[in-house]
Amino acid sequence: MTEPLPSWHDTPTKQAILDFVTSVTDENSSNYVTPAERIATFDNDGTLWCEKPTYFQFLFAIERLKEMAAVEPSLLEQPEYRAAVQGDLSFFADLYPDDVGALMQIVFSTHAGMTQAEFEGLALAFMNETQHLRFGLPLKQLVYKPMVELLHYLDHNGFKVFIASAGGMSFVRTVAEEIYGVPRERVIGSNITFEIRMSDDDLVLYRKPGLIEPIDDGPGKPVNIELHIGRKPILAAGNADGDIEMLRYSETSEHRSLQLVLHHDDAGREYAYEGPSAKKVFSLARERGWTVIGMKNDWQEIF
């Protein structure tokens, strides 16, 4: 096999990852874990792909709000439509994390009422065609190359790699196979509810207003991991407070486990921020011995 993790610098971080994987896959090690139990769960926004200037799915919802307001101007009486038309990202950002439910409602209700196939077509086109304002690349290319290498490295070592995103399960699935090599059934996330409409000739899934509980953030992540996987992860990776419960959950595995937290500390090549969505995770990482990935020093390349 070629050298693993080529876009990573040879730092203690990379060594911690290699050590962990070597140890749990070595049948002669006391840390050996069977393939069935090698579960890894990754947050998506800010862990696998860029989350600035704001979450890509918010940009997608904002586009939709603008389209809807153009057709029906009376919608501008509602603040989210006004904010969308005025390009006021802070309106949406300020709802997180304290009003995450309201924010999710806005994001998901913009694409309610259509078929799931229509939604996926729109989401895929958005990820393919929308240029990132700063980097001038389609959004789907703004994935962290070192993390994609890590996903593949784990896959090659018999891990089952899952995404556990606070963002939309269906939204991420439209591109996950292409950009990460993660199959659709291994993408867990928040989602709208569905209903089926059946005629003699067809059966169609429609997206219905209302979110599936629990939202896949914070305490919802371990719950959805149980529902979708039924096993504790032995490796969990995140970058924000919404990942704390998932990271903590992986610690309770009976096996050796690894917790990774990505620190955005590279204003030159990407962004440098902690902010309201990461008030606790880094102090917890120090207290509990989680491995912090520093973009600036640990990664040779970003995208």
In degrees, rounded to 5, the angle at the alpha carbon of residue 164 between the alpha carbons of residues 224 and 32 is 90
In degrees, rounded to 5, the angle at the alpha carbon of residue 227 between the alpha carbons of residues 155 and 167 is 70
3-class DSSP state of 216: coil
Taking CA atoms, 146 is separated from 173, 293, 298, 302, in Å, by: 20, 11, 9, 7
Q: How far is the CB of 7 from a second copy (least distance, A)?
A: 26
In this complex, which beta carbon is closest to a second copy, that of residue 122 or of residue 212?
Answer: 212
Q: How far is the CB of 223 from a second copy (least distance, A)?
A: 5
Residue 105 CB-half CA count within 13 A: 7
Q: Which residues contact 222 (CB under 8 A, 6 or more apart)?
A: 245, 246, 249
- 85, burial (CB in 10 Å: exposed 0-12, middle 13-18, buried 19+): middle
In this complex, which beta carbon is closest to a second copy, that of residue 135 or of residue 194?
Answer: 194
In this complex, which beta carbon is closest to a second copy, that of residue 4 or of residue 97?
Answer: 97
In this complex, which beta carbon is closest to a second copy, that of residue 80 or of residue 245?
Answer: 245
In degrees, rounded to 5, the angle at the alpha carbon of residue 269 between the alpha carbons of residues 141 and 285 is 95
Q: Which residues contact 19 (CB under 8 A, 6 or more apart)?
A: none
Chain residues that interact with a second copy, rule: CB under 8 A: 36, 116, 160, 169-170, 173, 177, 183-187, 191, 193-196, 198, 202-205, 212-213, 219, 222-223, 226-231, 245, 248-249, 251-252
In this complex, which beta carbon is closest to a second copy, that of residue 3 or of residue 254?
Answer: 254
Going by C-alpha positions, the residue among 216, 244, 226, 265 that lies closest to residue 101 is: 216
Q: How far is the CB of 24 from a second copy (least distance, A)?
A: 18
Q: How far is the CB of 183 from a second copy (least distance, A)?
A: 6
In this complex, which beta carbon is closest to a second copy, that of residue 12 or of residue 183?
Answer: 183
Q: How far is the CB of 66 from a second copy (least distance, A)?
A: 28
Going by C-alpha positions, the residue among 24, 4, 250, 270 that lies closest to residue 151 is: 4
Q: How far is the CB of 281 from a second copy (least distance, A)?
A: 14
In this complex, which beta carbon is closest to a second copy, that of residue 66 or of residue 248?
Answer: 248
Q: How far is the CB of 159 from a second copy (least distance, A)?
A: 13
Which amino acid type is present at position 193? Answer: T
Distance CA 121, CA 174 (A): 8
In this complex, which beta carbon is closest to a second copy, that of residue 241 or of residue 245?
Answer: 245
3-class DSSP state of 25: helix
Q: How far is the CB of 275 from a second copy (least distance, A)?
A: 23
